[in-house]
Structure 1
């Protein structure tokens, strides 16, 4: 094609057709520019297609990670609600005036289920490795990018709230270490069963319940965490963008 253009230009010059030569030269330049623009556009399309493919892969990884985090959080909330129910079962028995066999059996049944210590430790490998790299800009949704950036701070805030419960757990556990067999074997003569009749027992049991309730109340850090989790899952669905 270039040889053909060169041959035509040479012929026009030899025939002294200057005006036609200029028109032809301008036309040739125009065609070259159009060709370059088309090539650039094709290159941009290819680059955009590659970026879209990479973005979908990133979204897939984010989605999988946060669905797992959601399952973990839901399990924790369920376990804490169960723990609160067991605390309430014992609270309904207070004050304990007589340590009868049925009373001791009920205490063993419910109290043994108040020692669960599930904490939220979400997987953040994908987010942490992504936010600090240029690949983060491949995510087109600004809303999703902002949610991912603020995610770690929300987790830290919620874990600080969890720590309140964890710190109090040590006081709760210490009471039972001093007074009751590890397996709640009330037949062991070393048990101090009268401890269940004290105000101290009533106090630590109610405090245990309340510190757990704080971590799952609607007005706690859990609400913001859950909203962010649901938003990220929704916006990272494959082919969402």
Structure 2
């Protein structure tokens, strides 16, 4: 093609047709410029397509992680409800019965759940991968990008969730000391200890047991409220992602 254009130029010059040569040269330059612009547009289109493909991939992965978060929150909330019901049952049992031989077997069953905890940890794999690759700007929706950043900046293992752990341990440690007796050790590990007899246990009169139990219950309920708010935030994020994907 280049040889073809060169031959035309040489022919025009040989025939001394300078005006036509000039017009031809201008036309050739215009064709070259159009070709460059078209190539630039194609490259630009390909770059945009690549960015859009990456954005879609990241958003789908983040959406999958957020769906995992909703399942995790549902699991923790369900556990907290069970724990709160058992705390109410323990209050009722201690208030209704004064005989430790009656209430202690019930309390021991309650304590298996009351002294453990379940907390929420977001699945941040997709978002962290995007941040590590410095591709956060691939998310073209500024509002979505901002809300995702805010969500993943939250520290879920501080304040309330840490209090949930502490209150469970606190209750368990105190009740273990205040309520353990010869019969309970015998039933748990089949060991004849020199501990006091079950008839001497008086945790139904122990104000600390009530205080620790109440504190644990309030913290658990606060934890549930925070998780439910987080649940709503995640649903909004998923809706925004769906809109962006569509």
Q: TM-score range by the shorter chain?
A: 0.7 to 0.9
Aligned twin of 2:62 = 62
Superposition deviation, residue 75 in structure 1: 0.5
Task: Check whether the contact 2:65–2:123 (CA below 8 A) recurs between aligned residues.
Answer: yes
Equivalent-residue separation in structure 2 for 1:235 and 1:169 (angstroms)? 37
Aligned residues: 236
Larger RCO of the pair (alpha carbons < 8 Å, separation 6+)? 1
TM-score of the superposed pair, with normalisation by structure 1: 0.83
Matches within 5 A, 1:35-184: 35-99=35-99, 103-154=103-154, 156=155, 159-181=158-180
More helix by share: 2
Aligned twin of 1:226 = 231
| Cα root mean square deviation, aligned | 2.8
Superposition deviation, residue 19 in structure 1: 1.9
Equivalent-residue separation in structure 2 for 1:129 and 1:76 (angstroms)? 26
Consecutive unaligned residues of structure 1, counting only runs of 5 or more, are: none
Equivalent-residue separation in structure 2 for 1:216 and 1:239 (angstroms)? 30
Task: Check whether the contact 2:76–2:118 (CA below 8 A) recurs between aligned residues.
Answer: yes
Q: 1:129 to 1:235 in 2, by over 3 A?
A: same
Where 2:159 maps in the other structure, the secondary structure is helix
Consecutive unaligned residues of structure 2, counting only runs of 5 or more, are: 188-194
TM-score of the superposed pair, with normalisation by structure 2: 0.81
Q: 1:89 to 1:200 in 2, by over 3 A?
A: same
